[in-house]
Structure 1
Amino acid sequence: MAKTKVVVVDDSALVRSILTEIINRQPDMECTGAAADPLVAREMIRTLNPDVITLDVEMPKMDGLDFLSRLMRLRPMPVVMVSTLTERGAEVTLKALELGAIDFVAKPKIGVADGIRQLAQDITDKIRVAAKAHIRRAPAPAPAAAGGAAAPAKPVTMASIGRLSTEKIIFIGASTGGTEATKDVLVNLPADCPAVVITQHMPPGFTKSYAARLDGLCKIRVKEAQDGERILPGHGYIAPGGFHLSVERSGANYIARVQDGDPVNRHKPSVEVLFHSAAKVVGPNALGIMLTGMGADGAKAMKVMKDAGSYNFVQDEATCVVFGMPREAIAAGAADEVLPLQQIAPRLIERLRSTAGMSLNRV
């Protein structure tokens, strides 16, 4: 079997050396080149034709984001970003994922050498996933309306679903490729939709920036979940990195439970934990969504949700960056509908409206 060819791009000679060593220790991959800046990397990509590149976020001569943007427009290929655990590092990394990077590795701000060595398994796993991922080209600018202004978005509301918004909760699970997939679902939800509770596999230090980014883009309010807070309609709650998120009932209200604990399916936060709580606490008032991601986290629990009466949507293979978690959910018999990403929010809204109509007819 041919080895996965990797080019490392990082301005630190030490980091280049360590990443090269980690990659070359793997029997299924090899580092065919290491560049100190994007200009050198550009020539290496042309001559070496790598399968994957690792790219530092902050680079000399050309910003890492500028390089990534050009690369994804002109020669789309799998990219794993190497980020720093800082607030700016998180914001830049989220932009990189928006531009088409497959995933990222968060290196510590201090003790970088030891930190990267401790992340060796994570780094090589992400390179393997990236090598097989579906590549997205950099998004084209939105078409402008007459006169050069952007076309206004058509306002959408749930259209008189009454008290249903307070009874229903939408649960989303995602991993690799999921930051953008989740965004694509949330930006198409109306401000008065039911609460949305989300577990996206992300490390500590990144989920707060991710929630803030979504809050600025969506009609609903989005925040990092806090333990014990009431779950409200028209709001989205992101599981904090490094903690499990679940829901509980407190009288007539749903509340968020944010807790430490052992990883589940190697993940913390874990989709399995969130979906099990959905089945136990919300039952037939839950709607489940499984988006792109590697592995099987949440698949079995999504079947438990379905058995408890939930209605579940699963992203199809063609629109997934990685068709791992959705494939496992389908295989487990957890899916009611398998849809392209762009159809999930409209079908979800349609489902809620039809459910509201049935409720009104029974009154």
Structure 2
Amino acid sequence: MSSAFAMISPPTEPRLTRVMIVDDSAVIRGLVSRWLLEHADLTVVATAPNGRAALDMLDAADPDIVVLDLDMPELDGLTALPLMLRRKPGLSVLVASALTRRNAEISLRCLSLGATDYIPKPENNRGITTSLNFRRELVLKIDALAMARRRRERYAATQAALSAHAVPAAADISARPAGAADEAVLPRTAVMPRCLLIGASTGGPRAISTVLGELGPSVLEHLPVLIVQHMPPIFTAVFAEHLRMQTGRPAREPEDGERIVPGVVYIAPGGRHLGVMRFNGHPAVRLDDGPPINFCRPAVDLLFREAAAVYGPAALAVMLTGMGSDGLQGARALADAGATIIAQDEATSTVWGMPGAVARAGLATAVLPLPRISEAVRALVRGGSR
């Protein structure tokens, strides 16, 4: 076997989530391997210095999750990604790249091609070695993806066993994703929504694009949309441009104090909180450089909480896929104000952390699969039921 890449453990341990690390830096491959091997539920099954080597060993390594660098010789991450997904459907790919505008564009392109999530890397090996934030975020993301995969596999195994033995009473309720049986009918509301709030994290860019892309001009022309997507600086500006091109509506990072108007999509800038205030009698943007909330800046909690105070029951919130519980306390404030909250269901979420927290707390007016969320929003804007 070439010394350029290595099989670290044979594919014989089904209990562990299997991770492959693809990066042209041997230092990074070694560091990330050590970080992940400290976790009992994870095993690093292979490392590779480029996409070509990763493809060559993909079948033998049989990973569940791949950490994929973008800038590599022979075959870069963008080129290797669709080949990996074609070879192994269902593979979770975490794209890693330095924080530049070019890499932000490529990372978002990777998400549209099927990558599960992204993580910005420090610019050099020294930065990666000393960055506790990078290590923490990387491990948290892989952990969240691993937990989601294990839950889906448990549910699939339960369903297969039920089908084979036809014993409904044996169903493992704790393993069942929230789906059609958990959907609530959205009630008619006497208050017409005056804003659409969206919170998301892992898997969010694709989910947000799906919701906004299916809403159509009848909604987007008449409501302002305020979005907190957990993203670093530069990425949020690029994401706003993607949404502008997709929807045909103005989409941008707002300025502090600017009036919030219908027909505009406002994206929280990476590294700054997005809030809402009243200014001269009108809702306006409030940008906040305060400390992270739930380890997040921007934080969904802050947007939801302040929107509840400004819009009250006229706020309409959508909680999409994401790890953690950011947005839970803000959703509580929205519910107390009489606002409507839609949570994405587990079956269509990349990670059912944020929407799951809202749903389990009983704060969601409805728990819906992603393809039905835009339909529900349109019905609420028309003043009808779903």
TM-score (norm 2): 0.80
Which residue of 63, 80, 84 maps to 2:76? 63
Quick check: 1:197–1:238 contact (8 Å CA) kept in 2? yes
Aligned twin of 1:302: 331
Q: Distance in 1 between matches of 2:55 and 2:214?
A: 37
Aligned twin of 2:273: 244
Which residue of 283, 290, 295 maps to 1:261? 290
CA separation of 1:272 and 1:118: change in aligned 2, threshold 3 A: closer
Cα shift readout 1:219-247 (whole Å, capped 9, x = no counterpart) = 32211122111111011101111111111
Aligned twin of 1:24: 37
Report the residue type matching 2:22 in the other structure. Answer: V
Quick check: 1:187–1:219 contact (8 Å CA) kept in 2? no
Aligned twin of 1:145: none
CA separation of 1:287 and 1:281: change in aligned 2, threshold 3 A: same
Report the residue type matching 1:47 in the other structure. Answer: A
CA separation of 1:56 and 1:115: change in aligned 2, threshold 3 A: farther
SS in 2 for 1:309: coil
Q: Distance in 2 between matches of 1:132 and 1:312?
A: 25
Which residue of 29, 39, 60 maps to 2:52? 39
SS in 1 for 2:295: coil
Cα shift readout 1:185-210 (whole Å, capped 9, x = no counterpart) = 11123141300001111122211111
Deviation of the 1:43 alpha carbon:
2.5
Q: Distance in 2 between matches of 1:199 and 1:256?
A: 13
SS in 2 for 1:247: strand
SS in 2 for 1:69: helix
Does 2:203 match 1:188? no
Q: Distance in 2 between matches of 1:337 and 1:5?
A: 35
SS in 1 for 2:145: helix
Alignment of 1:86-125 (within 5 A): 86-110=100-124, 111-114=126-129, 118-125=133-140
CA separation of 1:254 and 1:134: change in aligned 2, threshold 3 A: farther
Report the residue type matching 2:86 in the other structure. Answer: R
RMSD, aligned CA = 2.1
Which residue of 308, 316, 320 maps to 1:291? 320
SS in 2 for 1:292: coil
SS in 1 for 2:119: strand
Does 2:253 match 1:224? yes
Deviation of the 1:296 alpha carbon:
1.1
Which residue of 185, 193, 197 maps to 1:171? 197
Which residue of 140, 146, 152 maps to 1:131? 146
Deviation of the 1:74 alpha carbon:
3.0
Report the residue type matching 1:80 in the other structure. Answer: L
Q: Distance in 2 between matches of 1:349 and 1:2?
A: 43
Report the residue type matching 1:5 in the other structure. Answer: R
Q: Distance in 2 between matches of 1:50 and 1:320?
A: 21
Quick check: 2:50–2:76 contact (8 Å CA) kept in 1? no
Does 2:245 match 1:208? no
Quick check: 2:31–2:129 contact (8 Å CA) kept in 1? no
Quick check: 1:86–1:109 contact (8 Å CA) kept in 2? no
Report the residue type matching 2:263 in the other structure. Answer: G
SS in 1 for 2:383: helix
Identity among equivalent pairs (%): 39
TM-score (norm 1): 0.85
Q: Distance in 1 between matches of 2:311 and 2:19?
A: 45
Quick check: 1:246–1:256 contact (8 Å CA) kept in 2? yes
Aligned twin of 1:149: none
SS in 2 for 1:128: helix
Does 2:348 match 1:319? yes
Q: Distance in 1 between matches of 2:208 and 2:127?
A: 31
Quick check: 2:277–2:310 contact (8 Å CA) kept in 1? yes
CA separation of 1:262 and 1:40: change in aligned 2, threshold 3 A: same
SS in 1 for 2:19: strand
SS in 2 for 1:241: coil
Stretches of structure 1 lacking an aligned partner (at least 5 in a row)? 136-163, 358-363
Report the residue type matching 2:265 in the other structure. Answer: G
Deviation of the 1:118 alpha carbon:
4.7
Deviation of the 1:123 alpha carbon:
1.0
Deviation of the 1:98 alpha carbon:
1.5
Q: Distance in 2 between matches of 1:72 and 1:92?
A: 17
SS in 2 for 1:249: strand
Report the residue type matching 1:243 in the other structure. Answer: R
Quick check: 1:303–1:333 contact (8 Å CA) kept in 2? no
Q: Distance in 2 between matches of 1:198 and 1:226?
A: 14
Quick check: 2:312–2:337 contact (8 Å CA) kept in 1? yes
